[in-house]
Structure 1
């Protein structure tokens, strides 16, 4: 037998031995007849990001974080500066002799003069605040209210005890003069103390531009003196 006959014989034997899976073939035929639309769609495989894209994204994220950190630092620094400014700048109402709202200062003594807000078109009150860092063993305060017309005394008061002072009021050329003098053996404590003079005046808004006061005092140390005028009512 030649080679072609031998090959033919083997093919026949293989064909006889083969038993096809009819159920599987039927299923494949049915899927083919159903059309391509019924085949499940496959999601496209994600494209891996290149190392350039990854590096760019990382750099951008780092830049955003760095910018945010710098902005936060700036805000915190600005807040700290503001806090330091507020902490080291005394306000006008701090009430300590180290930061008088206005007026004058000499060593341990300071003063401020202001027209009382309750003053009106016929009557006024001039307030003088005397502040001292230490007790005073002597104090003389003199107020000269310029005679702008109809200025007449209606009284005076002070926040210190009335019996500690000798008080006088007298007219002089061009002014009505108030004087408070601390009595011998009496001490003015450290702190703020108010002296007020009250008077009538001619009808209308009175000009306080020429009103003046002077305070001379002695504490532990050299004698001190402050003087000034009067600001607007407050």
Structure 2
């Protein structure tokens, strides 16, 4: 038999070989049950102690298991990126608000005043006043104690109310102090119930904190 044929037959025999796992495990078990033999001298390395024999057996069993399943699967738990620590929202500006009917209101016309008192500087401010659409209500104007160029002002007719809105322009600020925003309107002759009129004030501080104040006027215009 030439060398090439010998190599081919050895390779085919190796590929066709299927290890007998049961016999391998039986031999391992017999080895564990048999009394330990006297150690023999080896040229190099440490003698095979009981601990090393046990470790070798464990490795053999592990290898047999890997051969049996054809591979070893490793599973890792992907928890994803760590969530950033959440910060509590910054406190909003310290402020107070009150709604009143101006003493100059009469049996045909009225003025509602919203007084906002800020204790800290404000970098954002929106003041909304809703005047209920009672009989004869028509807007006749508005004003505020802050500079007119600092605000965008709109008056919108809603189904049930007139909406007056002042919005502080970007880059402008409102200093601590007392600030008045007034709405003016005509109404049907006689005393008018203003209890359905409301206001909302939203203030934003330099650090992004926000405060919201709400209230009403809750009064009746005098008949004079």
TM-score range, shorter chain: 0.5 to 0.7
1:225 maps onto 2:219 in alignment = no
Q: How far does residue 161 in structure 1 lie from its aligned partner after superposition?
A: 0.2
TM-score (norm 2): 0.55
TM-score (norm 1): 0.53
Counterpart in the other structure of 1:184? 170
Secondary structure, counterpart of 2:173 in structure 1:
coil
Taking the aligned partners of 1:191 and 1:107, their CA distance within structure 2 comes to 12
1:156 maps onto 2:156 in alignment = no
5+ residue gaps in structure 1? 1-105
Counterpart in the other structure of 1:63? none
Secondary structure, counterpart of 1:188 in structure 2:
coil
The alignment's C-alpha RMSD in Å is 1.7
Question: Which of 1 and 2 has greater Rg?
Answer: 1
Taking the aligned partners of 2:168 and 2:100, their CA distance within structure 1 comes to 22
Which of 195, 198, 216 aligns to 1:209? It is 195
Secondary structure, counterpart of 2:196 in structure 1:
coil
Taking the aligned partners of 2:122 and 2:128, their CA distance within structure 1 comes to 16
Taking the aligned partners of 1:170 and 1:226, their CA distance within structure 2 comes to 21
Q: How far does residue 231 in structure 1 lie from its aligned partner after superposition?
A: 4.4
The structure richer in helix per residue is 1
- After superposition, give the CA deviation of every residue in 1:196-216 in whole Å (9 maximum; x if it has no partner): 000000111010010000010
Secondary structure, counterpart of 1:184 in structure 2:
coil
5+ residue gaps in structure 2? 1-91
> Is this contact kept in 1: 2:152–2:169, CA < 8 A?
yes
